[in-house]
A and B are shown apart, each in its own frame.
Chain A
């Protein structure tokens, strides 16, 4: 068994002259909740796309769940879950059908699927709308469904790209309860967020500025070394030094 879920060494991605991700190196331990912070345009999504095998790195090394991003991208895909920033389930399918499709694609057996589907529906509280097209659901419910589907196949690592963007505080709280729950089960959580109170819930937090990781520690450690009362202050201090424009 491995103890390191994600490991990068000088991971870099350039688009032409523009270096979106610049030599980032870090390790995420198994079962850890790793907060990946940064202003808009700091390079978070690009880094995440490289780790999930959606984008080839320009240089540097990275391993996810023990597999190399260059050579074993397909093995990585079997071991990870991914919830993208933009809702990307099928709006014209029902909650049930989405669960069934992704469950099937990840190799959950035909016989197991109905039971799995019921479990997910119950855990998200979608019993009353399970047969309605996802389109008609409120955003918060959609996000919960997308989250549940991303962990349906018991991945080793799950990547959550702003999972709580635009949802209400009650659902945000529920989200974090779920995140703790799956971390307890040994799933490594790699999460980006713009909510600084959420950053406080993470085991460790990294802050990206202009494509580089400028700080990486436990929330407590970060506050101490930057002599701040909250992660928000740390973040603002670092983000202010950014040269790239917002957006």
Chain B
């Protein structure tokens, strides 16, 4: 036991003496949360559009005003032919072309079928989808409002209110459809993964590189003591960073904390061991920090892409969904969202916690076994 205390003492001394790493370790949660949460947004902001107005009527002016009044769209220009508009789209000046054909207003007011065409720059598919659905709802509003006006202004006509089924969507767990609410729990997971995956493993490879590990290997320190000495300091730092992140999420971003904080912390503790053990394993198969860094990054990117952080796992192809079953990050992101946003308790997440514990024991055993004090 004593040996471990001396090892820990030494690791902490070294960590706190490293003037370039230390600020990063404790600023990381703040910077990551701020940057990622605000930058990685799916909300629609200020789409420039051009109007090809071949109707030149009250309706076209009203439509333009309606779009602009939402704050999501800015009228870039009004032109009279499609060619000009296309050039603007090609040049990337506008993200949408609204084509109002001649005769639009007469059709509209005479109660006939009236159509307009929206052409959307769909290089970014998600963005294009958003533009479409926002536009559809603006036009829908426009229709209802003006149809009502129209019917009011013709009092002699029989009032036949259109009987339609109204869809009234209610969004549970994240009623405002706030993107940040959705992102922050996932970003906290990425943060913890990075600390776990990179720091412990890199620390061992560094000792290999500068040769201090050889001096340790001739001492009576056992493999297990050594591993604990390397894991525990960064485990503590990881948990500490998570707490900073959670505090920021709660009080800075107003993320609801429906579930229990203790649950989150217990799962985080297990999850950290999983990624740390993986980091240690990487360190036993590499000889330089460069190699270790490269492999760790490779895994990190796959973990994030297959983790459901940006794209829902349910919309991945079957084989990719199967892959996510081996991805610890996917489990933790899911647990985070379930516990924080839905208030899930142990019963709902138990099986995932079990899987994570399984990963932790397996990887830990594997890396302790692979670490050799004596070269073969």
Contacts and interface: CB of A to CB of B under 8 A. Distances in A.
Interface of A: 49, 52-56, 73-74, 77-78, 80, 82, 84, 86-93, 97, 100-102, 104-107, 110, 133
B13 A106 contact: no
A105 B376 contact: no
Interface stretch (B2-10, B246-254, B295-303): B2-10
Nearest to A90: B212
B171 interface: no
Provide the main secondary structure of the chain B interface. helix
Given A93-B13, A93-B14, A105-B6, A88 B219 contact: no
Interface residues of B, number: 27
Contacts of B2: 104, 107, 110
Given A90-B10, A92-B17, A104-B3, A77 B220 contact: yes
Contacts of B221: 105
A172 to B, nearest CB: 22
B211 A86 contact: yes
B218 A77 contact: yes
B144 interface: no
Contact of B218 (A80, A92, A104, A133): A80
Given A55-B375, A84-B211, A106 B14 contact: no
Contacts of A92: 14, 17-18
Interface of B: 2-3, 5-7, 9-10, 13-14, 17-18, 210-212, 214-222, 373-376
* A80, A100, A101, A105 pick with most chain B CB within 10 angstroms: A105
A88 B210 CA distance: 8
Contacts of B218: 52-54, 77, 80, 82
Nearest to A97: B13
8 contacts: A77-B218, A92-B14, A93-B17, A100-B9, A101-B6, A105-B6, A105-B219, A107-B3
Nearest to B7: A105
* A89, A91, A102 pick with most chain B CB within 10 angstroms: A102
A82 B215 contact: yes
Nearest to A84: B214
A91 B222 CA distance: 23
A82 B10 CA distance: 20
Given A92-B17, A93-B10, A106 B374 contact: no
B214 A88 contact: yes
Contact of A56 (B14, B215, B376): B376
B18 A106 contact: no
A70 to B, nearest CB: 10
B14 A105 contact: no
Given A77-B220, A88-B215, A90-B212, 12 more contacts: A54-B217, A54-B218, A54-B375, A74-B222, A80-B218, A82-B215, A84-B214, A84-B215, A86-B214, A88-B210, A89-B215, A97-B10
Nearest to B213: A88
B220 A106 contact: yes
B374 A53 contact: yes
Given A73-B374, A92-B18, A105-B7, A54 B13 contact: no
A77 B221 CA distance: 9
Contact of B9 (A80, A91, A101): A101
Chain A to chain B: the 4 pairs with minimum beta-carbon distance, closest first: A104-B6, A88-B215, A82-B218, A101-B10
Contacts of A93: 10, 13-14, 17
B137 to A, nearest CB: 60
A184 B85 CA distance: 96
A118 B27 CA distance: 39
Given A90-B14, A92-B17, A106 B214 contact: no
Contacts of A133: 17
Contacts of A52: 218
A104 B5 contact: yes
A80 B376 CA distance: 20
Contacts of A110: 2
B263 to A, nearest CB: 37
Contacts of B13: 93, 97
A183 B219 CA distance: 21
Contacts of A105: 3, 6-7, 216, 219-221
Contacts of B374: 53-56, 73
